[in-house]
Amino acid sequence: MPRFALSAGRRNVIGATIAGLIVVASCMLLLAHDPLIFWNDDYEVSILPVFADMARAWNRGEIPLLSPYSWVCGNLAGEFQYGVFSIFITALIVCVWKLPLTFSQQAAAVSIAHLAVLGAGAFLLARGRKLSISLSIFVALVASLNGWIICWGATDWFGALGAFTWLPWAWWAAERALDPTRSHWRFLWPALFVYLLITGGFPYTVLMLALLLAWLALRAVFEVDDIASPARKRRGGLARLTRIWPLLSGVALGLGLSAPAWLALFDYVHGSARESLHPSAHWQWLVPWNAWPGLILPSWTVDWLNFSSRFIPHGATELACGFVPPVALLSGFMVNGRALLKKIRWELALLLLLFFLAMLPTAGFFRWSFRWLPLLHLVLGVCAAEAFASFSQKQRRFSAFLMLLLIIILIIGALVLRTGGQHLFPLAWIFLGLALVWFVIELLQFNFLPAGAPPAIVFAALLATYLFIPPNSGVPKYNLAQSLLEPQPLDPQRLYLSVYPPPETSYRVAAKPAPVGKIVRPGSTSMWASLRFVNGYSPIRPAGVAREFAGAIHGEVDPDLAKWLLQREAGENGLLERIGIDGIIVAREFDFIPQPAAEWELAIENDEGHVFHRRGPAMPVVRSVNFSGKNSIAKITDIVTERNWASASVTAPDGDRAALIAFSRPFFPGYRARIDGRNLSAFSERNLIPLVEVPPGMHGRLILYYRPDWLIYGSALAITSAAIWIVSVALAFCALRRL
């Protein structure tokens, strides 16, 4: 019996590896077609620059909690989407950034690695449900290559992919934890994958996990096993509640392991711009009721509500799933409805719930309900595979015929209703040909082909979809050259405020095909060259500099406010000087300059904009200031600035007035200060920069360091959970060896 279990486990590992390699092969074919397919929008101005900064930090032995190269995006841990606390993401970034790759190749490597792991997890999930290897590969392809994952997760919103990669794994582990035939140590399975999912960096996927876990718990409590003994059935509801304790224990451990990540997010989002979202945002990107034919024909085009709350014609590429799963499920209910419903009634209920959630607005921090689609695709793939598994040869033939018929009907419908979009042909002919091939295979009863037909058709259909429909046509692309790795012509010692128009309209390739960003550095691209910028990409935009400068998500500041700041607050004792800004970049689209002119000089001018430097040397990062006229001026020497702390030798003059020390770095709650073993309070001016008051006559080494409560308590909880998990794993192995 143990030998059989080992053999089965080995087959599953080999199968999961093959599934992952098939996903990699598909991605390589897409890369051969378009080398920039994984290089778009947020990946360009947000994800990849931050990953470069994270790799730089880890290579220097630093934890990338903060970044010194952006103020708006200065708290990398709090931004959540970068996976700072994920072991997998960290290891992958460090490895990828050791290789001599271009920007687009780095993005492709990170995304493809996650897609392969996602496919392997979906394969194991299907195998855990006793599905065949071919059907498990079918589920893996649907889960990892569906339209939403490719069009949004893998090519734009990396956080969505980074987190969803682990959802099939968490589902698989949760089902193992709920299996009463396994050992008492089965609660260990979910912990690791819950941790990886949460630290992956996408709140929506955490919401998906919560829904999935609630669904699994309800199924475990209320589903009556038909083969259970009468005595077991008489135990009642309380006894059945004990079935979910391994799942709850594993999830609790996973939450503990990931505590620094979610505690950082809760702390960071408080008082941020994300708390004041306009209600219209929750009505954007809902799946229209008339878009669902896109599950079979991805070119199906109807009006969707976009980011600007405007209805625009939009193809249903997000719904692409290889057209086989919905047809298989439909034909399953047509030929074997009652038996199939009994078998997958819980999965079907979850599928219907996700179907409606994708069309309904959400609330709070969540928006754009089409983000439910990855989970819908996964559940749809599982349901379709279950339907296939129950088919007889005659029923498979009917399914192939139904697929051929539905594709013909949808092609005719798209032509009549004018919903085919500009990519209907040749995609429709390819889908029609694939359906015809499958029907011929089933009709002629080639015994060696039908088992592999579903994954093969899905693979070919999805590949054709992305070859003939641009998978990222809804988001901008920027031409960012490798020269952005160099700081020139800007000065790394200065702190810059860059004033530029919205990048998604002004700097996209359609508007500016030539390389952009050498001066303005949109989004967080300043991180590539270790340049200090106020600007940065942040969907959260915490209280402080993002509020004070009316920063938008893509890093641009409000132009009217910027004009006022440059004219009224750029002089001596103005706001810009108080926080340490000594460089101003004004894009060519604007004609204002910092005032007074005597205090600023034009340092650089080109076709992208103008760069102004405050006259004299760059301002020190640590300064003694007298903002209110009530402080003395201390002597400051030997300044050292690091990612998560800064220090300087400070000598405060004798007298009755304290010295006020200002640090030119963004303020976040959690800064602490110490001088020669004595704790001092760290506070801020308008939540912009950290300030520390040094008592009169005191001298010594002043250290400002970032150690928020969430990091202290979260780390303690994570260490405790890790210790419990490791000890439990060791005990489980000891118990296994005694058997």
Average pLDDT for 416-434 = 91
pLDDT over threshold 80, residue 435: yes
Task: Give the residue-averaged pLDDT of 713-725.
Answer: 96
Same domain membership, residue 380 and residue 398: yes
The stretch 400-412 carries a mean pLDDT of: 92
Q: Is residue 525 part of a domain?
A: yes
Angle separating helix axes 453-468 and 324-357, nearest 10 degrees: 70
Q: Are residues 410 and 526 in the same domain?
A: no
pLDDT band per the 50, 70, 90 thresholds, residue 344: very high
What range does the domain containing 647 cover?
622-707
Q: Which helix (H) or strand (E) holds 647?
A: strand 645-651
pLDDT at 447 over 60: no
Average pLDDT over residues 356-374: 87
Sheet of 645-651, strands arranged across: 635-641, 645-651, 699-706, 671-675, 678-680
User: Which one of 614, 630, 654 terminates a domain?
Assistant: 614
Are 695 and 566 in a shared domain? no
Q: Which residue has the higher pLDDT, 475 or 65?
A: 65
Residue 357 lies in a domain: yes
Whether 377 maps to a domain, the answer reads: yes
Q: How do residues 536-577 score in pLDDT, each as one tens digit?
A: 999 888 768 888 888 888 999 999 999 999 999 999 889 999
* Lookup: tokens for 668: 């976040």
Residue 208 counted as domain residue: yes
* DSSP string for 486-553: S-TTS-TTSEEEEE---HHHHTBTTT--S---TTT--TTGGGGGT-EES----SS--TTHHHHTT--T
Amino acid at 516: V
Residue 193 has a pLDDT of 97
Residue 250 sits in the same domain as residue 110: yes
Q: Tell me, yes or no, whether 607 and 491 share the same domain.
A: yes
Task: Confirm whether 713 is domain-assigned.
Answer: no
226, pLDDT greater than 50: no
Same domain, 12 and 145: yes
Q: What is the pLDDT of residue 2?
A: 42
Band (pLDDT 50/70/90 cuts) for residue 10 is confident
Taking only the tens place, the pLDDT of each residue in 481-515 is 999 999 999 999 999 999 999 999 999 998 999 99
> Which 3-state string (H, E, C) describes 354-419?
HHHHCCCCCCCCCCCHHHHHHHHHHHHHHHHHHHHHCCCHHHHHHHHHHHHHHHHHHHHHHHHHCC
- Whether 220 is in a domain gets the answer yes
Q: Does residue 303 share a domain with residue 249?
A: no
Of 497, 523, 492, the residue nearest 508 (C-alpha): 523
Tens digits of residue pLDDT in 240-258: 667 889 999 999 999 999 9
Please report the pLDDT score of residue 275 as a whole number: 58
User: 323: left (phi > 0), else alpha (psi -120 to 50), else beta?
Assistant: left
pLDDT tens-digit map of 121-149: 999 999 999 999 999 999 999 999 999 99
Same domain, 448 and 563: no
Residue 7 reports pLDDT greater than 70: no
pLDDT for res 628: 84
pTM, to two decimals = 0.94
Domain final residue pick, 443, 467, 491: 467
Residue 472 binned pLDDT confidence (cut-offs 50, 70, 90): confident
pLDDT in the model for residue 636: 95
Average pLDDT over residues 438-459: 78
Position 494 in a domain: yes
Q: What is the percent of the chain where pLDDT is above 90?
A: 75
Instruction: Indicate if 364 and 286 belong to the same structural domain.
Output: yes
Least confident of 359-373, 654-668, 701-715: 359-373
- How many domains are there within the chain? 4
HSE on the CB side for 256, CA within 13 Å?
19
Does the pLDDT at position 223 exceed 90? no
Does 450 score more than 80 pLDDT? no
Provide the percentage of residues in the chain whose pLDDT is more than 70: 94
Mean pLDDT of the chain: 90
Q: Given this model, what pLDDT does residue 271 score?
A: 66
Evaluate if residue 3 carries a pLDDT over 50: no
Do 598 and 677 lie in a common domain? no
What residue type is 216 in one-letter code?
A: L
* pLDDT-derived band at 228, boundaries 50, 70, 90: very low
**Domain CATH for 666:** 2.60.40
Whether residue 116 is found in the same domain as residue 170: yes
Please tell me the predicted confidence (pLDDT) of residue 274: 60
- The DSSP result for 457-497, as a single string, is HHHHHHHHHHHHS-TTTTS--B---GGGGS-TTS-TTSEEE
423, part of any domain:
yes
**627 neighbors 653 (Cβ within 8 angstroms):** no
Q: Which of 588, 614, 640 is the last residue of a domain?
A: 614
Query: Does the pLDDT value for residue 307 go beyond 90?
Result: no
572 and 602 part of one domain: yes
